Chain A
């Protein structure tokens, strides 16, 4: 008995973690999947109902708006975060004085919650007393900036706040990547007459392929999960113009009590994330095994 215990101790120690994750992650996802095939309203029902919820979901105007917003947000969020992140990383990599201070400034938003920063941005962007008033007081009398309350433009305020929050993170990833490159490579290229621009454009950035990949995966993942920022900034409004899938899911589940429909939307989110993450994990693991 004691021998057996000793031999299997590592596995016994592993068991709680595996059990908890198995139950609370995989079990729960399967439960949600099952419920998405039922006609559950306030309480879950367990008779299967087919794909009715998915048909309903993709016929819902609100869901289509949410998906549309997600696509717009993801595209802009990705482009701006990566471009700003790379510029900052490359510039900071030039033996800059006060690099530590600047880096701290670029990255501090990551330490704050989206609710905190969303609250700040909401105040800054509000048309009556925020940025708009600032410019009017400075003499630009016709200046208008009402994106926050404008149906067409409100989604872009979420992009502004999201990029502000996450661009520093991309910078940190690229800076770490650039620093891990051997100095010799850069030196050799410079001796061959390459200028700084060529060194980065032709040599270093192509070497950063894995960092691009990582940033892409993480940013897409953040954007699919975006929830807090929208709640703090617009609550999905004006109207439903800034709804995104995560907000749609919680609203349908907890305000509209349409459990089956919200489970279907949650599964769509799950599949979107899985489509990005599984190839990523697979390639990461292969890279590690190759080492």
Chain B
């Protein structure tokens, strides 16, 4: 009797082991299939950019290129060397850099300051001020495009990199404030109180106590702002054209220009060039990128 129970239990265990193994395989299969689905467009972009147009017409999306042929990359980056109608990304890439660096710096700095005040120098109604700023994360920018266009015109900075720096700084503040406020709120206020009793002032406390422990949130904020501003198209296409355009606008113009035969390899090379900076940041600092995503939790 005892023996019988023992064997049937063993059988049961055996069986559940098999179902478990089957489930595990199924799990991995599904995960890998999804991974292929997510990788597919990137793979297609890369191989297409390395093919010649002849190869593109002969093969399919998946066919491997015959060799490492970076010609279309060179064309995408530096053009073909003839004058009119030759658009290429190099100048616009620099426009984007000139736009991103100051905009990220200013918006991060302002966000750090407001986050600091909202958590460590609390005043009556500070909750409402926070809400007031936070709502800015969500507004559809269409509701501010028309007055912004006029304002930039009045200030004489429409169609310029400076104008875009202003726009991105302002509309980044709600996000950067959110990041820093949520980070500083977990820093014990006793630390600040003690420093205040010791006679340390507003800025001294910030630079001596909070800033040294802010590295993680600065990284999160900088990555978030960099990605958002680099990838922006709405502001770039509305407030700039021609020479002052950032790279996403230039990419779109290049792809849409229907002057000659469609060159998909050049299109794909251009798209990769426009995407590579944010992709590199993502691969190197994915952890911080995800933290920004899940705490900012908005992509505008």
- A residues in contact (CB < 8 Å) with B: 6, 9-11, 13-14, 16-18, 20-22, 24-25, 27-29, 31-32, 35, 44, 84, 87-88, 91-92, 94, 96, 102, 104-117, 119-124, 129-131, 133-134, 137-138, 164, 166, 168-169, 172-173, 176, 214, 218, 221-222, 224-225, 227-228, 231-232, 235, 245-246, 249-250, 253-254, 259, 262-263, 265-267, 269-270, 272-273, 277, 281, 285
Contacts and interface: CB of A to CB of B under 8 A. Distances in A.
Contacts of A24: 144, 148, 170-171
B25 interface: no
A225 B147 contact: no
A183 to B, nearest CB: 19
B171 to A, nearest CB: 7
A218 B137 CA distance: 11
Interface string B79-94: 0000000000000000
B48 interface: yes
A227 B234 contact: yes
Contacts of B147: 27-28, 31-32
Interface in B123-172: 123, 127, 129, 131-136, 138-148, 150, 170-171
A205 B268 CA distance: 40
A227 B173 contact: no
B281 A250 contact: no
Interface stretch (B5-13, B28-36, B64-72): B28-36
A245 B140 CA distance: 11
Given A21-B136, A227-B233, A121 B31 contact: no
Interface string B34-62: 11011111101100100000001101111
A291 B197 CA distance: 28
B233 A18 contact: no
Contacts of A9: 201-202
A259 B142 CA distance: 12
A123 B48 contact: yes
B105 interface: no
Q: Is the interface of A mostly helix, strand, loop or mixed?
A: helix
29 contacts: A6-B201, A13-B114, A21-B170, A25-B144, A29-B143, A32-B147, A44-B150, A104-B283, A108-B279, A111-B289, A112-B279, A114-B231, A117-B275, A119-B267, A119-B270, A123-B45, A124-B41, A129-B264, A131-B61, A133-B61, A134-B61, A168-B38, A169-B293, A225-B142, A232-B252, A246-B140, A249-B145, A250-B234, A266-B146
B123 A21 contact: no
B217 interface: no
Contacts of B44: 120, 123-124
A246 B145 CA distance: 11
Interface residues of B, number: 92
B41 A25 contact: no
Contacts of A218: 297-299
B74 interface: no
A115 B248 contact: yes
A224 B140 contact: yes
A51 B198 CA distance: 61
A28 B144 contact: yes
Ranked 8 nearest A-B pairs via Cβ: A113-B231, A10-B121, A111-B282, A28-B144, A134-B60, A116-B275, A228-B233, A266-B142
Contacts of B264: 123, 129
B188 interface: no
Nearest to A20: B170
- Interface-centre pick from B34, B37, B255 (highest chain A CB count, 10 A): B34
A92 B267 contact: no
A281 B274 contact: no
A16 to B, nearest CB: 7
Given A169-B293, A173-B294, A263 B146 contact: yes
Contact of B143 (A21, A28, A94): A28
Contacts of B95: none
B27 A88 contact: no
Given A109-B38, A120-B45, A32 B144 contact: yes
A105 B39 CA distance: 7
Contacts of B138: 221, 273, 277, 281
Contacts of B177: 17
A272 B215 CA distance: 37
B146 A119 contact: no
B233 A113 contact: yes
A199 to B, nearest CB: 14
Nearest to B296: A218
Contacts of A13: 113-114, 116-117, 202
Max chain A C-beta neighbours (<10 A), residue from B30, B118, B136, B174: B136
Contacts of B145: 249-250, 253, 266
B140 A96 contact: no
A114 B62 CA distance: 22
A17 B181 CA distance: 13
Given A124-B44, A270-B140, A115 B34 contact: no
B28 A253 contact: no
Given A108-B279, A123-B264, A130 B298 contact: no
A44 B104 CA distance: 33
B135 A277 contact: yes
Contacts of A133: 60-61
Contact of A20 (B40, B129, B144, B173): B173
